[in-house]
Amino acid sequence: MILMIDNSYEAVMSRKNEIMKKSVGVDYQKYEIHGIAFDYEKMLSDSGYPIEKIRQIQLETGVGNTQLVELKNINRLIKKISPKGKGARIYVKDEATNPSGSFKDRRASVSVYRAKELGFKGVIAATSGNYGAAVASQAAKKGLKSIIVQECYDSRGVGQPEILEKQRACEAYGAEVLQLSVGPELFYYFLRLLEDTGYFNASLYTPFGIAGVETLGYEIAEQSIRQFGRYPDAVAITHAGGGNLTGTARGLKKAGAKDTKIIGVSVDLKGLHMASDRDFNKKSFTTGHTGFGVPFAVFPDRADVPRNAARSLRYMDRYILVTQGEVFYVTEMLANMEGLLRGPAGNTSLAGAIALATEMNEDQIIVVNETEYTGAGKLPSAQLTFARHNGIEIRTGDPLKEDIPGKNIVIPSSPGLMGFTEYPLQSIRKSYLKQAVNKYGTKDFSDIELEFISEDINIGVEKVKEYLKEIAL
């Protein structure tokens, strides 16, 4: 007798936890404590590897040990546009020299290693970005199959040049690429593929992925001590789903850089709905923007695993926003002044770092934790041409005053107009609590839950209770 499996949307979604458990090799249930609370550190400890083991894993596939580069010409420019006594120096961790051209190789290396260790024949990742290329590259090195699922097109069948560039990279490394239009079907097809193939879920949000990024923070700390005799005052990190920030911050702390400020930086795309077909091609960045940065900060467990290992509010000291035009401007600045053709996602944090540097003391140091490779579809010329075709006005001016996401892209008319908008962490923490109250239907969390929330958003228990009183059921 042949058993028929119900593959309707409702049936597949009802099986998601079972599918995830089989495809990741992690029994998330064993870490559950009560309600919102789970044992985060035990989950990472049990499911990851010691940092020296991870470095060995990455060394075997040519990942990591990237250079920490001082931006000497840009630093001279910063001194000129800064008030007297200000103008911190900027260094960048040149992650574009990893095998597939981004820090995502660090995440992929550990996930693919784990898949091979557990006997899986292939790996699957749902991503529109660099991670797909990283997974495909690492899978090729380990002799595994790879499937990449991309959210790529709007309802007209029009895809962004940056996403199409990454599709070509994934296919070049031998991956099978499944491209979908924007909408909820992405997760459904992802689950179907995991169930049908029996492949490993190389999710961005597993403990393996976060553990892989910890070496990035660890290397920054080690290299800083060697190159300028102390840890950096701040590390600027492009913030999207939170894995980059979480892993880098954890690695810095493990290496001893406990006082280094962790600054998340996103492109401000307020007003654009990321799941909207109408808005999908109105944005000119596919990651590193507020459409990922804010939702994943306020509700980390929206991820494709039961419990997300990327939890940025635990580690973030500040969250600042830059504009699209500033990132395009900095991409050309980096190429023209430093001879480094990189971007655009890594240049989001660089744009923020340049603005921050003008306010910091001249003896301070900021590290930008990553660069990424660029290509035909990722260059400013391709992105801006695509924007014009979608009715976006491109002009020079003052981006902080004139930029309207979905309407225009304003390129700074001078470097002195580089700036940022502070996104209050208090607002994000309150939004986290609102999400928790809505999800669990109560404000009366147990002492254990309150302690977990306190750690998850990095404020005291009494402040958590104070904020909860402000929320209406």
Q: Cα–Cα distance between 406 and 311 in angstroms, integer?
A: 29
The domain tally of the chain equals 2
Residue 285 domain-assigned (yes or no): yes
Whole-number pLDDT of residue 2? 52
- The encoded tokens of residue 257 equal 């850089």
Co-location of 348 and 470 in the same domain? no
25 falls within a domain: no
Which residues share a beta bridge with 308?
none
pTM: 0.95
Instruction: Supply the Cα-derived Rg of the chain in whole angstroms.
Output: 21
Do 461 and 316 share a domain, yes or no?
Answer: no
List, for residues 369-427, the tens digit of each pLDDT value: 999 999 888 899 999 999 999 999 999 999 999 999 999 999 999 999 999 999 999 99
In this prediction, residue 455 carries a pLDDT of 98
Q: Are residues 232 and 342 in the same domain?
A: yes
Residues 297 and 246 in one domain: yes
What mean pLDDT is reported for the chain?
A: 93
Asked whether residue 31 is assigned to any structural domain, the reply reads: no
Evaluate whether residue 467 is within a structural domain: yes
- Confidence class of residue 155 from pLDDT cuts 50, 70 and 90? confident
Whether the CB-CB separation of 380 and 107 falls below 8 Å is answered with no
- At 119 the pLDDT is 96
Q: Is residue 468 one of the residues assigned to a domain?
A: yes
pLDDT at 48 over 80: no
Output the domain CATH number for residue 62.
Answer: 3.40.50.1100
With 70 as the cut, is the pLDDT of residue 273 above it?
yes
Place of tokens 């000119």: 284
On whether both 454 and 388 belong to a single domain, the answer is no
Report which of residues 285 and 361 the model is more confident about: 361
User: Are 224 and 319 found together in one domain?
Assistant: yes
pLDDT exceeds cutoff 60 at 3: no
Which residue, among 14, 16, 45, has the nearest Cα to 31 in the 3D structure? 45
**Vertex 382 angle, CA 379 and 385, to 5°:** 140
**DSSP helix, strand, coil percent of the chain (3-state; round to 5):** 50, 15, 35
Domain enclosing residue 388, as ranges: 57-101+210-422
Mean pLDDT of 68-76: 98
In the predicted structure, residue 255 carries a pLDDT above the cut 80: yes
Q: What is the mean pLDDT of residues 176-195?
A: 86
Is position 374 within any domain? yes
Residue at 17 is within a domain = no
Least Cα distance to 142 among 105, 191, 101 occurs for: 105
Q: Is residue 333 part of a domain?
A: yes
Whether the per-residue pLDDT at 185 is higher than 90: the answer is no
pLDDT at 1: 46
